[in-house]
Amino acid sequence: MASSPNALRETSRRLKSAVHQNKAVSRAGLTERFFTFLFKGLVYPQIWEDPKVDMEALKLTPSSRVLTIASGGCNVLSYLTADPREIVAVDLNRAHLALTRLKLSAAKNLPTYDAFYRFFGEADARANIVAYKRFLRNELDRETRHYWEGRGLTGRRRISLFSRDLYHHGLLGYFIGLAHFVAKRLGVDPRELVNAKSLEEQRSFFDTALAPLFDRQIVRWMTSKKSSLYGLGIPPAQYEALAADGGGDMAAVLKGRLEKLACGFPLTENYFAWQAFGRSYASGPTGGPSGPLPPYLKAGHFHEVRTRANRVRVNHCSVTEQLQQEGEAAFDAYVLLDAQDWMTDAQLNELWSEITRTAEPGARVVFRTAGTHSILPGRVADSILGQWTYHEDESRIYTARDRSAIYGGVHLYTLNGPETV
**pLDDT 10s digits, 346-391:** 999 999 999 999 999 999 999 999 889 999 999 999 999 999 999 9
pLDDT tens figures, 314-350? 999 999 999 999 999 999 999 999 999 889 999 999 9
Q: pTM for this one?
A: 0.89
Alpha carbons 100 and 102: distance in angstroms, whole number = 5
Is the pLDDT assigned to residue 286 strictly greater than 60?
A: yes
Mean pLDDT over each residue of the chain, to the nearest integer: 90
| CB contact at 8 A, 53 and 3 | no
| CB contact at 8 A, 99 and 89 | no
Q: What stretch(es) of the chain map to CATH 3.40.50.150?
A: 51-110+297-415
Please report the pLDDT score of residue 67 as a whole number.
Answer: 98
Phi, psi of 357 (to 5 degrees): -65, -35
Please report the pLDDT score of residue 25 as a whole number.
Answer: 44
| CB contact at 8 A, 136 and 105 | yes
Task: Please give the CATH architecture assigned to the domain spanning 51-110+297-415.
Answer: 3-Layer(aba) Sandwich (3.40)
More confident residue, 297 or 32: 297
| CB contact at 8 A, 116 and 302 | yes
Please report the pLDDT score of residue 7 as a whole number.
Answer: 56
